[in-house]
Amino acid sequence: MTANRDISLTFMKGMTVLHAFDAAATGLTLADLSRQTGYDRATVRRLVLTLVDLGYVEKTGNRFLLTPRVLVLAGSFLRGHSFGKMVQPLLNICAGEIGFAVALAMSDGDHAVYVAQSTLQSSRFTFGFTVGSRVPLLPTAIGRMLLAWGDPAWAEHALGTAPLDRYTDATLSDRDAVARAVQQAMADGYCITRDEFEAGVTALAVPVGGPGRARAVLGLSEPHASLPDSALSATLATLRQCAAELRPGFDISQ
């Protein structure tokens, strides 16, 4: 294919090795990297040693670990979207008003990735998600909201191809049922899920941007008892207000 002639396969392989580290806090061996990437050990060795030379990976014994330099890759993205000056303060204000930690997420292929999170000490970080955490699109409120109000062509493809794993007994395991839930979120302008990704959890998400143009969503996850039906209306109103203030930096049309 013509498009493939413009792609550096070596660079792609290097990025695959970099992605293989994911949540490997204790590091990976060459055998681990070979198994996760599907590349032979000789290829993996050249690629990971290149990353060591560039400063993105360090070698300790027979294991390789990411270095803080990987955070530099995100720097221009964060600055370009004014995360420090606008996004973080708005998330903290929102969290302070509703009493729950809130997070901003964007699509990352067939997953959603957390790109910012409130940092108030008074709010709870219940489930351990941090900036950079990736969650599946289909069983989560933030994922379905991205599908509902995001780019239609991407959403159609993702609905048909994104992983449809079962996380709890309540997880929708039929793509048509998930598509109907996404349609409902599209109509409502918000998405709510209960128990589908984590048992005992209610998740709520609202779009940051207009229909068909939202590049991000704002959401939260709390135990059912912390977010009863009686509190949903007020919580939703606060999330929508925050999303409206965030919109100029994330709406595709802007």
Which token pair is 99?
């009493």
CATH number of the domain within which 36 lies: 1.10.10.10
> Does position 253 have pLDDT exceeding 60, yes or no?
no
Each residue of 68-83: pLDDT tens digit? 888 777 776 777 666 7
> Does position 117 have pLDDT exceeding 60, yes or no?
yes
Same domain, yes or no, for 154 and 28? Answer: no
Each residue of 2-53: pLDDT tens digit? 356 778 888 889 888 888 887 666 789 999 999 989 999 999 999 999 999 9
Work out the number of other CB atoms within 10 angstroms of the CB of residue 177.
Answer: 11
Q: What is the mean pLDDT of residues 109-119?
A: 90
Residue 76 lies in a domain: no
Which residue has better confidence, 120 or 43? 43
Same domain, yes or no, for 63 and 156? Answer: no
Same domain, yes or no, for 90 and 173? Answer: yes
Residue 26 lies in a domain: yes
Q: What is the mean pLDDT of residues 95-121?
A: 90
d(CA 127, CA 135): 12
Q: What is the mean pLDDT of residues 103-115?
A: 92
Predicted local confidence at residue 158, as pLDDT: 95
CATH number of the domain within which 195 lies: 3.30.450.40
Predicted local confidence at residue 125, as pLDDT: 44
Give the pairing type, strands 57-60 and 111-117.
Answer: unpaired
Among 217, 220, 200, 201, CA closest to 209: 217
Same domain, yes or no, for 231 and 138? Answer: yes
What's at 25, amino acid-wise?
A
Q: Which of 70, 99, 127 is the last residue of a domain?
A: 70
Q: Name the residue range of residue 9's domain.
A: 2-70
d(CA 118, CA 88): 7
Each residue of 202-229: pLDDT tens digit? 999 999 999 999 989 999 999 999 888 8
